Amino acid sequence: MMSPTIKDYIQENRERFLDELFGLIRIPSVSAIASHQPDMHRAAEYWRDALLGAGADKAEIYPTAGNPIVYAEKLVDPSFPTVLVYAHMDVMPVDPVNVWKSDPFQPVIRDGRIWARGADDDKGQSFMHAKAFEYLVRTGQLPCNSKFMIEGEEEVGSVNMGKFCEDHKEMLRADIILVSDTSMIAEDKPSITVGLRGLSYIEMEVKGPDRDLHSGIFGGAVANPANVMARIIASLYDENNRITIPGFYDDVVELSEAERTEMAKAPFDLKAYKESLNIGDVWGEKGYSTIERTGIRPTLDVNGMWSGYTGEGAKTVLPATAHAKISMRLVPDQDHHKISRLFEEHINRIAPPYVRIQVRTLHGGQGYASPTDMIAYQAADRAYTDAYGTKPIPVRSGGSIPIISAFEEKLGIKSILMGFGLESDAIHSPNESFSLYQFFKGIETITYFYQHFADMMKKERIS
Amino acid sequence: MMSPTIKDYIQENRERFLDELFGLIRIPSVSAIASHQPDMHRAAEYWRDALLGAGADKAEIYPTAGNPIVYAEKLVDPSFPTVLVYAHMDVMPVDPVNVWKSDPFQPVIRDGRIWARGADDDKGQSFMHAKAFEYLVRTGQLPCNSKFMIEGEEEVGSVNMGKFCEDHKEMLRADIILVSDTSMIAEDKPSITVGLRGLSYIEMEVKGPDRDLHSGIFGGAVANPANVMARIIASLYDENNRITIPGFYDDVVELSEAERTEMAKAPFDLKAYKESLNIGDVWGEKGYSTIERTGIRPTLDVNGMWSGYTGEGAKTVLPATAHAKISMRLVPDQDHHKISRLFEEHINRIAPPYVRIQVRTLHGGQGYASPTDMIAYQAADRAYTDAYGTKPIPVRSGGSIPIISAFEEKLGIKSILMGFGLESDAIHSPNESFSLYQFFKGIETITYFYQHFADMMKKERIS
């Protein structure tokens, strides 16, 4: 009997694939919130069972100092190349939850999309790997040794993943790390992410008087931490929207004119971009295009900020403290440790005498550049071309997956970023969704990748 | 049988006075929070019954478009002067509630102080009037016609008090309005508030993209409302800590050097002030002392501010919106309507094209200056001198009681501000308290005020 094609297999198992994915999505594995820790363990068990079910010879849950990591493998032949899939089972918080059109942890299908937290990032995208693997195993075609490592702390900085890599170097040996945690340009415009930004994530507390004060009795005579913090944040950008932290740009690699010209060829519709976000205008560093601002330039954003009375109505209080969460996206060759240090030093230098300021690094990670001349890139290029009928474009993403550069550093293995998300998926936002078309197309593309990668690696070895 | 003195009467009824006050405090009458509306009605009933119990001939609850107003009276003799007591039964919100050492609505006595929300502002201070009145009625000595109006919206701008005054001009006719809702310098340094600042309270919303965005994918290319709001707030003060809103200072009455010299005589210990607040330094408008900054200069303070992710850990979000509550304290002759308009115009003028900004006035009120040459001031001066053994000092407060200037405008009646709070009472803050010494001393002082005021008014009429 002929094996079914991957397209046929997807068609036959469509509902089961979604059911299994939905089971994973229903576990509210929010890593940023400590009370969800039991859910992290449930998610790990779910993944272990899913990978065993898909055909892994072995799947185990490894405890860490934080959330557990699932490792699974199926080793077919020592002479075959080895693919190590990296993914994460944790998701972002869901607040403001009242903005969601349906329960973030009860996936529903509307308009050809799955709506839920994690639908794309990264449950939807990672589960495609389990199903491509299942197809290859069940049809007896698995052309690579397959390994999986699924962690539970990607959204909080992969704090224990580095140590796991160091502790299990031999077990994790592979020719390539395969990751689906990025996006492509559009459903009909596949792309492969070849650059990621680094990240430095800071929390700042500005402390004024030791208690909230009556703003009438003390206002104007005692510095207001909220006003002071606003002034500090405002001062972090100059009039050209360049970051003012001394030394911040020192290590930024400037692209050549040729490289910038090449980049400018990527399709980009400014009008559609503004309309899709409902903004009157874009904003950013003077002298750079929107694509450059997110792709090759470092940035600084307030991710959260709070102080004083935030309830209904009017309370005339001079707040005792003000807080901000601030993250900086970094480009090659900025070092996140150095940037966090520069930030802290700068704040301490400009802190006025009438407040006390505490700066604390919440997490960080280096940026990453993926070479387009490696075999894995060529195999991915062919796989997208087979599945989508269009050659993918290499793009640099504004996002960060801090652990990717650590893999190269600790394991000596490059990563290939085969993302299937779309910008409209609203990852990290309310009403996250993932296109069913992309989910199934992703399974197909990944299957082709294994096949091309195995073929090309074998040819490379022979030649 | 001789009537007891007020001191004896207080001694005999001490526990009952506190029990009655505590009953009022236990009603969580927070006017800023809509869900507490039933508590406002309970507080009104409590006040009505308390005033009837104290000896009023009549006490009624008047509904308004918002919270009810209690009016009570005892008219002794048409030839007697009339005192109209104004107070408020509503209190400030209690958050952050976890900072309170005991339940804000379960008053306890520790270290000679009553600890609760409203212990001072204004339940403790207003209840003294009920008890002074009770003494004068029960001992047959009430020397004035007495009227009371107790409202439930002072902390949210007395929005319905003005109309109540207009609708009941005849009923509210009086020679003086007596208010205890301010503070004095220290337990051994009585003072009478002769100036209040006006208030303009604004809420601002800065809107960017129509949803929270991934800060990696959009950061640096889409304006961040939190960063934009920080820049706007920072720009509201210049390098001399003067407010930059065009026209803001136009109507500010500058004091003469002689007046400033007089003001500088009030006792003030900068070191103790800084220590009591645990701040490294004071802050404020260049060229003015701390007392001047809160007494005679207008100010602008952020009372609350929020945007994006404010939970635990790190969420890399570019927030869709940022919010701030901002209040300005105004001095004579600044008009709060004009200032709110100038603020809104200024913000709209400086709003950059990549965000939309909405400004909304939450409430406002004019400042007030109380003349020291009126009879009520002289009577209050003698009353404090009798009770405390020290002549009180006239002071200008940084706080606002917006309705006071409206009383003069709508009823044509001046107010005398006999406050018994202390700066350390932490009104509007967690762990509000009120000194038992001041509570009982206040009852005594108010009693003397009635007696002196009646005597002096009678003499004035004869002469």
CA A361, A367, A368: angle at the middle one, nearest 5? 155
Tokens of B43: 């507080």
**Is B83 within the bounds of a domain?**
yes
Stretch B142-161: mean pLDDT = 95
Q: Distances from the Cα of B354 to the Cαs of A75, B225, B253, B435, in angstroms?
A: 54, 9, 39, 52
The CA radius of gyration of chain B, in Å to the nearest whole number, is: 24
* Structural domain that includes position B360: 198-252+298-365
| CATH code for the domain in which residue A144 is found | 3.40.630.10
Shared domain check, B160 and B124: yes
> By the CB < 8 Å criterion, does A352 face chain B?
yes
Cis before B96? omega within 30: yes
**Is A272 within the bounds of a domain?**
no
In this predicted structure, what is the pLDDT of residue A462?
78
> By the CB < 8 Å criterion, does B398 face chain A?
yes
pLDDT digits (tens, 9 = 90+) for A129-158: 999 999 999 999 999 999 999 999 999 889
From B344, B365, B386, the end of a domain falls on B365
Decide if B294 and A197 are in contact by the 8 Å CB cutoff. no
B positions 424-443 inside 8 Å of A (CB):
426-431
Shared domain check, B414 and B355: no
> By the CB < 8 Å criterion, does B97 face chain A?
no
Phi and psi (nearest 5°) for A77?
A: -160, 125
CA B305 to chain centre: 22
Decide if B156 and A305 are in contact by the 8 Å CB cutoff. no
End-to-end CA distance of chain A: 34
The larger pLDDT score, comparing residue B265 to residue A459, is at A459
User: In what helix (H) or strand (E) does residue A305 lie, and over which residues does it extend?
Assistant: strand A299-308
> By the CB < 8 Å criterion, does A230 face chain B?
yes
Shared domain check, A310 and A209: yes
Q: Distances from the Cα of A358 to the Cαs of A325, A344, A349, B266, in angstroms?
A: 12, 9, 12, 36
Residues of A with Cβ-Cβ distance to B312 under 8 angstroms: 32-34
User: In what helix (H) or strand (E) does residue A445 lie, and over which residues does it extend?
Assistant: helix A436-462
**Is A287 within the bounds of a domain?**
no
- B461: closest CA of chain A, how far (Å): 38
> By the CB < 8 Å criterion, does B145 face chain A?
no
> By the CB < 8 Å criterion, does A162 face chain B?
no
Q: Distances from the Cα of B112 to the Cαs of A67, B109, B430, B440, B448, in angstroms?
A: 51, 6, 18, 12, 24
Strand order in the sheet with B108-110: B108-110, B113-115, B433-435
Shared domain check, A202 and A192: no
- The 10 Å Cβ neighbour count of residue A419 is 24
Cα separation, B179 vs B279, whole angstroms: 32
Query: Quick one: which of B326, B327, B307 has its CA closest to B318?
Result: B307
pLDDT at residue A2 greater than cutoff 80:
no
pLDDT digits (tens, 9 = 90+) for B276-309: 899 999 999 999 999 999 989 999 999 999 999 9
Cα separation, A152 vs A129, whole angstroms: 17
pLDDT digits (tens, 9 = 90+) for B73-87: 999 999 999 999 999
Stretch B403-417: mean pLDDT = 94
In this predicted structure, what is the pLDDT of residue B104?
98
Q: Which amino acid is at A426?
A: A
> By the CB < 8 Å criterion, does A5 face chain B?
no
Decide if B230 and A305 are in contact by the 8 Å CB cutoff. yes
ipTM of the complex in this document = 0.81
| CATH code for the domain in which residue B323 is found | 3.30.70.360
In this predicted structure, what is the pLDDT of residue A1?
60
Cα separation, B262 vs B357, whole angstroms: 44
> By the CB < 8 Å criterion, does B284 face chain A?
yes
Of all residues in chain A, the one with the smallest CA distance to B208 is: A279
In this predicted structure, what is the pLDDT of residue A87?
98
Q: Could you please report the per-residue DSSP string of B200-265?
A: EEEEEEEE-SSS-EEHHHHBTTB--HHHHHHHHHHHTB-TTS-B-STTTTTTPPPPPHHHHHHHTT
| DSSP state at residue A105 | T
- B72: closest CA of chain A, how far (Å): 29
Tokens of B108: 């306890």
Query: How would you class B180 by CB atoms within 10 Å of its CB: exposed for 0-12, middle for 13-18, buried for 19 or more?
Result: buried
Decide if B216 and A399 are in contact by the 8 Å CB cutoff. yes
Phi and psi (nearest 5°) for B130?
A: -60, -40
What percentage of chain A carries pLDDT values higher than 90? Answer: 84
The CA radius of gyration of chain A, in Å to the nearest whole number, is: 24
CB A284 within 8 A of CB A290: yes
Cα separation, A90 vs A156, whole angstroms: 9
Shared domain check, B120 and B209: no
Cα separation, A311 vs B93, whole angstroms: 9
- B456: closest CA of chain A, how far (Å): 33
CB A202 within 8 A of CB A325: yes
Residues of A with Cβ-Cβ distance to B235 under 8 angstroms: 234
A positions 207-226 inside 8 Å of B (CB):
208-224, 226
Q: Is the whole-model pTM more than 0.90? A: no
The larger pLDDT score, comparing residue A259 to residue A418, is at A418
Decide if A218 and B398 are in contact by the 8 Å CB cutoff. yes
Place of tokens 């950059």: B352
Shared domain check, B49 and B117: yes
From B320, B341, B365, the end of a domain falls on B365
**Is A121 within the bounds of a domain?**
yes
In this predicted structure, what is the pLDDT of residue B338?
97
In this predicted structure, what is the pLDDT of residue B157?
82
Decide if A217 and B325 are in contact by the 8 Å CB cutoff. no
Tokens of B206: 């800065």
Shared domain check, A223 and A121: no
Decide if A428 and B277 are in contact by the 8 Å CB cutoff. no
What percentage of chain A carries pLDDT values higher than 70? Answer: 100
> By the CB < 8 Å criterion, does B361 face chain A?
no
**Is A274 within the bounds of a domain?**
no
Cα separation, B357 vs A168, whole angstroms: 53
Stretch A89-108: mean pLDDT = 95
The larger pLDDT score, comparing residue B314 to residue B151, is at B151
**Is B134 within the bounds of a domain?**
yes
Phi and psi (nearest 5°) for B435?
A: -70, 130
Shared domain check, B246 and B133: no
Shared domain check, A72 and A189: yes
User: In what helix (H) or strand (E) does residue B115 lie, and over which residues does it extend?
Assistant: strand B113-115
Cα separation, B114 vs B17, whole angstroms: 13
Residues of B with Cβ-Cβ distance to A310 under 8 angstroms: 304-306, 323, 325
Cα separation, A89 vs A46, whole angstroms: 10
Shared domain check, A453 and A377: yes
Cα separation, A261 vs A264, whole angstroms: 5
Average pLDDT score over chain B: 95
A227 vs B209, B301, B397: nearest CB:
B301
Q: Looking at the 3D structure of chain B, how many domains does it have?
A: 2
From A308, A341, A365, the end of a domain falls on A365
pLDDT at residue B259 greater than cutoff 90:
no
B201 vs A199, A284, A314: nearest CB:
A314
Phi and psi (nearest 5°) for B318?
A: -100, 110
DSSP alpha helix (H) spans, A255-353: 257-263, 270-277, 290-295, 336-350
CB B181 within 8 A of CB B87: yes
Of all residues in chain B, the one with the smallest CA distance to A429 is: B212
Question: For helices A123-138 and A37-54, what crossing angle results, to 10°?
Answer: 20
User: In what helix (H) or strand (E) does residue B151 lie, and over which residues does it extend?
Assistant: strand B145-151
Helix, strand, coil % over all residues of chain B, rounded to 5:
40, 25, 40
Q: Distances from the Cα of B206 to the Cαs of B209, B306, B394, in angstroms?
A: 10, 11, 43
> By the CB < 8 Å criterion, does B329 face chain A?
yes
Shared domain check, A338 and A215: yes
CB A359 within 8 A of CB A344: yes
The residue length of chain A stands at 463
Decide if B327 and A305 are in contact by the 8 Å CB cutoff. no
The larger pLDDT score, comparing residue B123 to residue B1, is at B123
| DSSP state at residue A36 | G
Shared domain check, B100 and B175: yes
**Is A282 within the bounds of a domain?**
no
Q: Which amino acid is at B186?
A: A
pLDDT digits (tens, 9 = 90+) for B322-376: 999 999 999 988 999 999 999 999 999 999 999 999 999 998 888 888 889 999 9
pLDDT at residue B1 greater than cutoff 80:
no
